[in-house]
Amino acid sequence: MKFFIAQLVTETNTFATAPTGWGGFEEYGIFHGDASRLSPNETGGILRFLRELIEGDGNEAVESLCALAQPANRTVKEVYESMRDEILNDLRAAMPVDAVQLMLHGAMVAEDYDDCEGDLIARIRAIVGPDVAIGAELDLHCHYTELMHTSADAIVAFKEYPHIDAEPRGRELYSILVDTVAGRVRPVAEVFDCKMVGIWHTTREPMAGFVRRMQAVEQQPGVLSVSLGHGFPWGDVPEAGAKLWVVTDNDRALARSLADTLGAEFWAMREATRPVVASIDEAIDSGQPPAGKPVVLADIGDNPGGGAPCDSTFILQRLVERGIGNVVLGALWDLGAVHICQSAGVGTQLDLRIGGKCGPASGAPVDLRVVVRAIVENHSQSALGVRERLGTCVWVEAAHGLHIVLSSVRTQTYGTDVFTGMGITLEDKAFIVVKSTQHFHAEFAPLAQSVQYVSTPGTMNFDFAAIPYRLRSLDYWPRVSNPHEHP
């Protein structure tokens, strides 16, 4: 069998300030058919995994574009169309193929395109025709659209948040496509629109149990896959929101019944699955006095993994005002501060203006007297099965043992080596402040006495009932108590 594989991944926060341009993708590398070889543990990690899987079975893999960008506002039209057309041209050159397997996000939005993934898959279908199997693996924070649904044979989403299951889901999709090409199965899918907007952590109950429930249903005869797309709350597009879909082997009635049943079960859990969010002072108070392990404070409003600028100072400012010490915070994106510290050198003491540079959601800059403790070129973090670039990073220390990591690449903190790779210890700290919503949990939670999700002003508004949508319907929970009562 001949497989065509490609990756195009970014998550679009339509409320963010800056667009996603070439620079956002170039930071992580844009690869033209060689990511699995040149970036096997970073941007090309999934394509490397797929290539090994395909070729390990004696099949052929034709690799196309691999590109990834941190979330920001809509992708510039020319950037999206250029990368899309490269994939399509590579596919034409590779024809005939037996199957197409794509690694996409599911919430990519560009100028004039509310559904980039649907547009790409539909154009691929037009090239390969009705008999070639097409599959897409999506981040669970996807917008599952009708165009995706009708254009692909099978779509599989991550089940876990943090996303620790990208490779198992890729293997699952590959198996479905192999069986489809061989004529052993004929995938059909049905979807349940949950009419919900929110964030759901699979690290705690009842969501952890719901993941197990989906996995149990997948063991039933005739069921190929079950996915819950949580949706991306900060993507204002017409088909946004949580949706559950079931893929079966040519049994549409079974897919419909199971999607309705599981969707209703998820809906019934809505109150029990609301995220517990603390104010800055509540979160700080939770760690006083220290109890032998650090308290992790997640700065969820300034998560660059959701499109935020990653330079907000609200928690930092409050820590300084309250004189809280023995804290590590990062990674905060501040190119100017990194450059100043690089020029000054390790051991230099200086007055440094930190953060608060990208706009009102970033807060005011904080002026601190700091010592440059370490400078690491080409720093990176490793977690969730990949290694991700942080660029040049600087560790500065202010009064009371306030340790701050500044980065030159905007990305969320999810690996402990963001700090330990700079020489900072974590177990002895009172607080660890991370710029992340949930991906940090896999590595940081085991170190902590508690994890506090901290509400700060920022690009990511966690009052889901009040997000100022213009394009998507406002008929959703929690804005409406029961949107399922409406026709």
Dump the DSSP string for 435-472.
Answer: S-SSTTHHHHGGG-SEEEEE--SSSS---GGG---SSS
10 Å CB burial of residue 481 (0-12, 13-18, 19+) is exposed
Torsion sign, CA atoms 429, 431, 432, 433: negative
Last residue of a domain, one of 268, 293, 318: 268
**Same domain flag for 323 and 197:** no
* Alpha-carbon gap, residue 106 to 192, rounded angstroms: 17
Whole-number Cα distances in Å, 179 to 1, 99, 127, 351, 359: 11, 11, 22, 63, 51
Q: What mean pLDDT, rounded, does the chain reach?
A: 96
Co-location of 77 and 187 in the same domain: yes
Which tens digits make up the pLDDT trace of 43-94? 999 999 999 999 999 999 999 999 999 999 999 999 999 999 999 999 999 9
Instruction: Report helix angle 252-268 to 207-217, nearest 10.
Output: 170
Q: Per-residue pLDDT for 290 more than 80?
A: no
Residue 144 sits in which domain range? 2-268
User: Are residues 88 and 178 located together in one domain of the fold?
Assistant: yes
Is 477 a domain residue?
no
| Last residue of one domain, picked from the residues 250, 268, 286 | 268
* Separation of alpha carbons 400 and 393, rounded Å: 22
Q: What is the pLDDT of residues 119-173, one digit of tens each?
A: 999 999 999 999 999 999 999 999 999 999 999 999 999 999 999 999 999 999 9
Please check whether residues 317 and 263 belong to one and the same domain.
Answer: no
Q: Are residues 222 and 305 in the same domain?
A: no
> Which DSSP state fits 294?
P
- Check residue 432 and give its pLDDT: 97
- 298 and 166 in a single domain? The answer is no
Residues 205 and 325 in one domain: no
Assess if residue 51 is contained within a domain.
yes
Length of the chain: 487
Distance between CA atoms of residues 426 and 417, nearest Å? 10
Regarding pTM above 0.95, the answer is: no
User: Edge to edge, what strands does the sheet with 31-32 contain?
Assistant: 31-32, 60-68, 2-9, 99-104, 133-138, 154-157
Q: Is 191 within the bounds of a domain?
A: yes
Residue 479 lies in a domain: no
Query: Cα Rg for the chain, rounded, in angstroms?
Result: 23
Q: How many domains, in total, are found in the chain?
A: 2
Residue 487 clears pLDDT 90, i.e. is over it = no
Confidence (pLDDT) at 387: 86
Which of residues 268, 294, 316 is at a domain's end? 268
**CB-CB contact of 306 with 411 (8 Å):** no
**343 and 234 belong to one structural domain:** no
Asked whether residue 482 is domain-assigned, the answer is: no
Q: Does 187 lie in the same domain as 149?
A: yes
Residue 66 located in a structural domain: yes
Residue 226 lies in a domain: yes
**Are 328 and 228 within one domain?**
no
Instruction: Note the pLDDT tens digit of each residue in 335-393.
Output: 999 999 999 999 999 999 999 999 888 999 999 999 999 999 999 998 777 788 999 99
At 289 the pLDDT is 61
Tell me if 448 is assigned to some domain. yes
pLDDT at 361: 87
pLDDT digit string, tens, across residues 415-426: 999 999 999 999
pLDDT score of 38: 97
